[in-house]
């Protein structure tokens, strides 16, 4: 049964305009003695009084904060108290008071300390106040006091104005597995402000750059807190039991009893969050593929493409390998067994991006430039990629066939020296044991026959001249056919490359929308708008801006309402640079708008 608080009667010093309702209710509660000086009551609107307590449960001996808040009243005078004693708890006055005026509406809050003395469930009934002819009441407050050491366990402290909470989704991970870490700063909406970036101790881990999350309000144990989130990514570098944390930060906190704008003085204080113990285990030996090199996660997808694919021998080919999935994206490497045999290759360019810190969804791209060494090559090498599925707890292998190549024969020789040929490698020109280097001679070719005409004769000049004309004609024809083939091939490959890049951007657009990342979403949308309009107008995409809508051209074939929709999309892309608070639904709506407009532009 809920017990009512009882105790001695306290003295209430009251002033004109505000008086408690007489009767047993006030006698039973007897919480505090107040004297309030109120101005004229004319013109009052939305007059309210509220009683609140935080936290909402205690252990014997713990303290709470009781707040009496008046809204919509004129300036209130000083409160005077006579301390009363109650069966299960004490109410103790403090000097804390807060006054806030927003849009002409005044709110006065008076703070009291509740000291628990006895286990049980307690109720503070409503307090009633008479304002002129109108009566207003506080709400009822219920709380529970547990015996020492028997209160429910909670990750939230019950008597702190500010604290840190460190969250990880799983406390048992594999070595090299990415751990999304959320560090939340909880701080009292009245007493605290200006939280700092939290830092975290991470011995045995590699930490990636911090990223600011959202800020929102929530109730903790009946008390309103602001919550500011920060995200980190931790990667365990050794096995065993590791400690992630503690997390530390600081915040501006106001204290009672010193004059300031609210009667409180600001002070910078350190706040801490408890460490989390992580158990890091090695990958299992059973079933481990030979080419496994530490990739771990779920839902991996690989795209393997090359451009151009119709080439002449010696032409460069750009190879792109994209790995998408949830996991340690930034740590992923291609297997050592993957080699471009019979190709001259260069060091790859790599870049990675994580679009969702909660699921670690992202992509990593490897871009190579390779040159085929002979015309018999029909395709790029096969790619085998193995990873450990953290949900199935088993190894998975994905195999992608290399893109096909069509290589026209040419005179490209990677080992050729210009104008030189090696002769008599194993013949009479060198030592019989081959110890003396072969002789290198330079010539333009050999003339048929054994007779050498005189230098002044027509035959002397006609023979080399004929060879020269034949050589020039052959070289010209081959150059012409090669250029024609490349132009045809480049046109086809440019279209294919454009389609692939466009599809990749559309995929990124969907990822940003699902992850509620407005900045990345609208940056990608802007590039897509540029590409779609540039393809229709036949110009460089970099030259496309919102001004293109006002210029004469093919876009003027769109209806006026579509041009306005297009202008709105450009404006959203521009505004996103300064930060926008949009939901997944908003981003999905913008994506649908883009898809519809891009189709209308393509159909012009």
Segment 219-234 shows an average pLDDT of 84
Cβ-count burial of 526 within 10 angstroms (0-12 exposed, 13-18 middle, 19+ buried)? buried
pLDDT at 138 over 80: yes
CA dist., res. 295 & res. 330, Å (int): 10
Confidence tier at 586 by pLDDT (50, 70, 90) = confident
CA dist., res. 495 & res. 461, Å (int): 51
DSSP at 480: H
Token pair for residue 162? 């500010």
Least-confidence region, from 29-33, 323-327, 363-367, 599-603: 29-33
CA dist., res. 525 & res. 570, Å (int): 9
CB 167 within 8 A of CB 181: yes
Highest mean pLDDT among 202-206, 358-362, 434-438: 202-206
More confident residue, 115 or 15: 115
Q: Which residues contact 377 (CB under 8 A, 6 or more apart)?
A: 342, 343, 405, 407
CB 14 within 8 A of CB 32: no
pLDDT at 18 over 60: no
More confident residue, 372 or 361: 372
Least-confidence region, from 97-101, 201-205, 410-414, 467-471: 410-414
Q: How many helices (H) and strands (E) does the chain have?
A: 5, 35
pLDDT at 216: 85
Task: Of 454, 425, 456, 419, give the one whose Cα is nearest residue 439.
Answer: 425
CA dist., res. 391 & res. 284, Å (int): 14
Task: Of 161, 158, 52, 58, give the one whose Cα is nearest residue 116.
Answer: 58
Segment 496-517 shows an average pLDDT of 73
pLDDT at 374 over 50: yes
CA dist., res. 251 & res. 246, Å (int): 17
Computed over every residue of the chain, the mean pLDDT equals: 75
The beta strand positions in 308-405, using DSSP E, are: 310-312, 317-327, 343-345, 349-356, 361-372, 383-389, 394-400
Dump pLDDT digits (tens) for 542-575.
778 877 777 767 677 788 888 888 888 888 887 7
Q: Could you give phi then psi for residue 481, rounded to 5 degrees?
A: -65, -35
pTM attached to this predicted model: 0.51
pLDDT at 575: 76
Dump pLDDT digits (tens) for 418-472.
333 333 333 334 444 443 333 333 334 443 444 445 555 555 556 666 667 777 7
With H, G, I as helix, E, B as strand and everything else as coil, classify residue 378. coil
CA dist., res. 94 & res. 92, Å (int): 7
- The CA–CA distances, whole Å, from 392 to 172, 280, 299, 335, 395 equal 15, 17, 11, 22, 8
Highest mean pLDDT among 71-80, 196-205, 478-487: 196-205
More confident residue, 201 or 193: 201
Segment 327-335 shows an average pLDDT of 90
């Amino acid at each position: 049964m809920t017990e009512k608080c009882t105790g001695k009667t306290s003295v209430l010093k009251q002033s004109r305009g505000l008086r408690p309702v007489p009767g047993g209710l006030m006698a039973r509660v007897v919480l505090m003695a107040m004297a309030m000086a109120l101005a004229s009551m004319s013109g009052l609107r939305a007059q309210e009084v509220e009683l609140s307590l935080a936290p909402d449960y205690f252990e014997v001996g713990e303290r709470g904060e009781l707040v009496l808040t008046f809204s919509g009243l004129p300036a209130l005078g000083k409160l005077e108290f006579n301390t009363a004693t109650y069966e299960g708890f004490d109410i103790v006055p403090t000097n804390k008071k807060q006054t806030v005026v927003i849009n002409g509406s005044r709110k006065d809050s008076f703070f009291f300390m509740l000291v628990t003395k006895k286990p049980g469930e307690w109720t503070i009934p409503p307090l009633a106040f008479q304002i002129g002819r109108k009566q207003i009441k506080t709400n009822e407050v219920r709380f529970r006091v547990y015996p020492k050491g028997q209160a429910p366990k909670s990750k939230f402290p019950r008597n702190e104005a500010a604290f840190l909470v460190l969250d990880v989704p799983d406390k048992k991970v594999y070595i090299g597995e990415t751990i999304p870490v959320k560090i939340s700063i909880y701080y009292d909406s009245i007493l605290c402000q200006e939280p700092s970036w939290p830092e975290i101790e991470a011995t045995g881990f590699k930490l990636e750059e911090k990223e600011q999350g959202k800020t929102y309000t929530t109730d903790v144990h009946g008390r309103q807190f602001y919550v500011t989130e920060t995200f980190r990514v931790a990667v365990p570098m050794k096995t065993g039991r590791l400690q992630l944390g503690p997390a530390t930060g600081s915040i501006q906190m106001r204290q009672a009893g010193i004059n300031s704008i609210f009667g409180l003085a600001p002070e910078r204080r350190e706040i801490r969050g408890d460490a989390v113990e992580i158990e890091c285990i090695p990958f299992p030996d059973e079933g481990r593929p030979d080419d496994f090199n530490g990739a771990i996660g779920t839902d991996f997808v690989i795209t393997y493409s090359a451009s151009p694919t119709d080439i002449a021998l010696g032409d460069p080919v750009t190879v792109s390998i994209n790995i998408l999935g949830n996991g340690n994206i930034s740590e992923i490497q291609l297997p050592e067994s993957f080699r471009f045999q019979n190709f001259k290759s260069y060091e790859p360019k790599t870049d990675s991006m994580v679009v969702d810190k909660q699921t670690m969804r992202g992509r990593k791209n490897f871009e190579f430039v390779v040159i085929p060494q002979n015309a018999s090559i029909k395709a790029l090498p096969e790619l085998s990629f193995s990873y450990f599925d953290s949900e199935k707890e088993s190894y998975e292998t994905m195999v992608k066939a290399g893109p096909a190549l069509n290589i026209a024969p040419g005179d490209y020789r990677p080992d050729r020296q210009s104008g030189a040929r090696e002769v008599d490698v194993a013949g009479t020109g060198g030592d019989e044991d081959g110890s003396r280097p072969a002789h290198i001679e330079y010539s333009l070719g050999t003339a048929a026959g054994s007779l050498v005409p005189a230098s002044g004769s027509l035959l002397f000049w006609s023979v080399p001249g004929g060879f020269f004309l034949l050589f020039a004609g052959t070289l010209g024809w081959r150059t012409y056919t090669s250029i024609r083939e490349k132009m045809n091939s480049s046109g086809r490959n440019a279209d294919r490359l454009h389609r692939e890049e466009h599809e990749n951007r559309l995929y990124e657009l969907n990822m940003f929308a699902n992850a509620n990342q407005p900045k990345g979403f609208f940056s990608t949308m802007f590039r897509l708008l540029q590409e779609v309009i540039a393809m229709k107008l036949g110009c460089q995409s970099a030259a496309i801006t919102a001004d293109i809508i006002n210029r004469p051209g093919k876009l003027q074939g769109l209806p006026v309402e579509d041009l306005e929709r297009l202008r709105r999309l450009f404006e959203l892309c521009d505004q996103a640079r300064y930060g926008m608070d949009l939901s997944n639904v908003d981003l999905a709506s913008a994506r649908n708008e883009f898809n519809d407009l891009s189709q209308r532009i393509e159909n012009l």
